[in-house]
Amino acid sequence: MNPCFETATRLARAIRNGRLSSVEATKAHLDRIARVNGPLNALVLVDEAGAMKAARAADRARSQNKSLGPLHGVPITIKEAFDVAGLKTTSSHPPLKDNVATQDASLVARLRAAGAVILGKTNVPELCADFQTDSPIFGTTVNPWDERRTAGGSTGGGGAAVAARLSPLELGSDIGGSVRNPAHYNGIFSLKPTEWRVPGHGHVPDLPGQTRSTRYMGTFGPLARSVDDLDAALRIIAGPDGYEVEAAPVPLGPTPRLAAADLRIAVLTSNPLVPVSTDMASVVQATAKLLSGAGAKVKRAEPEGLDWQQGWDDWSDLFQYMIMNGQPLAERERHFDRLESPDPTARSVARAARLSMAQFFAVLDRRDRLVRHCESFLDDYDAWLMPVMPDAAFIRQSRKLPLKVDGAGHPYFFAGTAYNFLANLTGQPSVVLPCGFSKEGLPIGLQLTGKRWGEAKLLGVAKVLEKLLPPCPVPPSFAS
């Protein structure tokens, strides 16, 4: 077996059964990283010595019949924004270029305790705030399907690493699509859990030593090449860690075994904010037909009366408020005159810059109502299938330019979050699966969204769809 082309759970079984050693699996991944990572720039910190030391320790533990964790001896990667003891954590923010973590982030510690071997860290845009991964410290990560195109962001390095078979599993984060759009753009799987299912202690942002302000919508989850891997990773990283009081001890429960005939699936092909490309619409329609043909009850539906623009505004305002809350008035005043901008993001920045507490609580009130509305909608469905982004991976460009979808230009940040913001605002979990290709041969992923705290059922639904789809695709240039 070639360890680099196996999923994390299959590697774990092989190591546990003695068919493969952790040293063999780890060395294979390190050799592949050395051979192909250079132009891809997916991994920006490689801890070869630390990984091999951990792999040797994993093999000794197995030989001594010690208790083995679910990822025992499996090499993985970590988004650069998470603390890994002894390695830099910069989140691509130049003032942190020399910041070395003294301890592991909570989730990194949990993955190590489960037996994972950390190969290194993957590239991110500055402060995880873009869906292109262009780091002022580490440079640009390119898409393994087409080096001209974005690998997504902010977990762009991780998405590229998993797709190019440099790592079977990545730990990422998502406040506006940052584990979902890289999965879509790179042809892999990802999970954005329920808000506060997974704690974020040791993730940047927030900046080290400063007041914690990311208290809404931020989530932390895996990127992988199978739903089984997402399931296994979630069960390792979920649950409170004693640092953040919002993280709730809600049991996950078993993942149900479902059949297509058991399922009721709502389908959204496009929303009124940014119409999807013809390629995207075709993949949505084909996937809906696939499910229906397998026996699922499939219906084109969305919550009645859902105000997409108000929802996006509330997500953006809340996001911007968390960013700007610590800025002095003089800094915020620079944005006051942007209230009439044609760009929805600029208007949101202006609102957040002058937001009063009364307005802030009004945003939260509207959010509460939207959560109830979307949860009620999912009383009638097992999952809601929809696009992740308006189109397949775009050719890398300036953030100042509009993002084009089938030739029509849309404000950059607005277009890039038009389909991902909702599950962050409602806190509902979403699973991304690679479901098809564009006419140019680029992968297209779709997301399944479920009820809050309903990850187990959602993963069960995702496993049904996964079985109907071809295997996780390999970028042609990385097929060997």
Active-site residues: which are they? 79, 154, 178
User: CB-based burial of residue 372 (10 Å sphere; 0-12 exposed, 13-18 middle, 19+ buried)?
Assistant: exposed
Q: How many other CB atoms are there within 10 angstroms of residue 294's CB atom?
A: 16
Per the DSSP assignment, residues forming a β-bridge with 409 are: 404
Distance CA 80, CA 139 (A): 13
Q: Is 470 helix (H, G, I), strand (E, B) or coil?
A: coil
CA distance readout (Å), 52 to 27, 48, 69: 7, 6, 18
Q: Is 75 helix (H, G, I), strand (E, B) or coil?
A: strand
CB-CB contact of 297 with 264 (8 Å)? yes
In a 13 Å sphere around the CA of 178, the CA atoms on its Cβ side amount to 27
Q: How many other CB atoms are there within 10 angstroms of residue 292's CB atom?
A: 16
CA distance readout (Å), 243 to 61, 87, 237, 248: 31, 22, 14, 12
Q: Is 91 helix (H, G, I), strand (E, B) or coil?
A: coil
Size (the chain), residues: 480
The DSSP annotation for 335-346 comes to TGGGTT-SSHHH
Q: Phi/psi of residue 156, each to 5°?
A: -70, -40
The token pair that represents 211 in the structure block: 């007041």
